[in-house]
Amino acid sequence: MGVTIYDIAEQSGVSIATVSRVFNDNPRVSEVTRATVLEVAARLGYQPHVSARSLARRQTETVSAIVPMLTNYFYAEVLKGLQDRMNQTTFDLLVYSAPTLDEIEGQVEKALHRGRSAGVLLFSAPVEGELEKRLEASDLPVVLVDCYHANFDSISTDNRRGGEIAADYFLSRGAKAPAVLMANPHSVPASDRLDGFRSRMTAAGHPLPDSHIQVSSTDYHDGFNEEAGFQGMMALLESGCQTDAVFATSDVQAIGALEALRRSGVSVPDEMQVVGFDDLPIARYVGLTTLRQSMHEMGSRAFELLLDRMTKPAGAVTHTVFAPTLIKRQTTLEEVSE
């Protein structure tokens, strides 16, 4: 049996992925490591097969994205921005979908598997514990999307600020006892939105009681879905909670809440004001007031960050944070902004 890159990796003291990068002239390899690998390859008489080298090069031109709740509208918009930017390059996109946050780690392990991709984009996952250790141990470039960790490049929206804006807006509109339709509390974006909303209400002298926080079911899309919004709104109404405004931590929850209000005969916005978060395309058609995220731009910029990390592996970690914008429509009492 001839010499393989496994033999070279073992004698060089590096990973197989690093050996592959050396043979494909990847700039992420240090000159010392490159010289070591090439010396070992020459000593062992290794000759890379042309077709195998071509296959390896194609493999390293694949970017992996680990996305929870793939059919969620928010991720569809971000992935569109990612794909549009990638279409300007030779890279291909490989998407790993995790139905819930609990299944993220298994998909990350697949994406980090040696030789499968040149870089990894991780969406909306709390980077802690074993997941944090696994990412830090990997020699692949990683960019976080819609989440944050000090040691990794990231791109996100200021979700806490979005919650503050929603609270300020309700207060300016005279809402006396707003409530929150909350998705999975373990979701970083959702928890940040709630924290911002609650802190602003408390600072204004209107602390948010627990009875005014309705946590959605976490079984499907971690509560980011229309049914969760519908059931959550119905639960608020049936509880006798005296609320006149609802902040939903996503547009899809808000849309479900609007249906619950319609069926219950509650007038929007006269009796109940509703604000969502995302500004999905459908929000305009249902007249939903919401906090707009730059979803398409997030996807595009995430790929650019990954490219930067591929070419400058030792560069400083960067964090890009977009500011959410309040878009006023018919589900609140004020004149619409668009």
Q: Which CATH architecture has domain 5-57?
A: Orthogonal Bundle (1.10)
Q: Do domains 62-156+295-322 and 159-293 have the same CATH topology?
A: yes
Would you tell me how many other CB atoms lie within 10 Å of the CB of residue 92? 14
Q: How high is the pLDDT of residue 333?
A: 75
Task: Return the structure tokens found at 9.
Answer: 């990796």
Kindly report, residue by residue over 76-101, the tens digit of the pLDDT: 899 999 999 998 888 889 998 887 77
Output the pLDDT for position 209. Answer: 94
Dihedral sign (CA 93, 97, 101, 105):
negative
Would you kindly state where each structural domain of the chain is located, as residue ranges? 5-57, 62-156+295-322, 159-293
Higher pLDDT, 47 or 148: 148
Q: What value does the mean pLDDT take over residues 110-138?
A: 86
**Under CATH, which architecture does the 62-156+295-322 domain have?**
3-Layer(aba) Sandwich (3.40)
45-54, 122-131, 183-192, 325-334 — which is least confidently predicted? Answer: 45-54
- Which range has the worst mean pLDDT, 104-113, 216-225, 307-316? 216-225
Average pLDDT over residues 55-77: 74
Residue pair 183/225 in contact by the 8 Å Cβ criterion: no
Whether domain 159-293 has CATH 3.40.50.2300: yes
* Range from 47-56, 191-200, 201-210, 317-326 carrying the lowest mean pLDDT: 47-56
pLDDT of residue 59: 46
Per-residue pLDDT at 50 exceeds 60: no
* Token pair in block for residue 247: 């902040």
For position 54, what pLDDT does the model report?
45
Average pLDDT over residues 116-129: 88
Checking if the pLDDT of 60 tops 60, the result is: no
- For 4-22, write each residue's pLDDT tens digit: 777 788 888 887 667 777 8
pLDDT for the residue numbered 7: 79
Mapping DSSP to helix (H, G, I), strand (E, B) and coil, where does residue 314 land? coil
| Strand blocks (E) in 81-228 | 92-98, 119-123, 142-145, 153-157, 179-182, 213-215
CA distance 233 to 248: 10
pLDDT of 193 higher than 50: yes
Cα 199 to the center of its chain, rounded Å = 24
Mean pLDDT of 98-127: 82
- pTM, rounded to two decimals: 0.78
pLDDT averaged over every residue in the chain: 87
Per-residue confidence at 338, pLDDT binned at 50, 70, 90?
low
Q: What is the CA radius of gyration of the chain?
A: 24
Higher-scoring residue by pLDDT: 204, 72:
204
* 239-296 pLDDT tens trace: 988 899 999 999 999 999 999 999 999 999 999 999 999 999 999 999 999 999 999 9
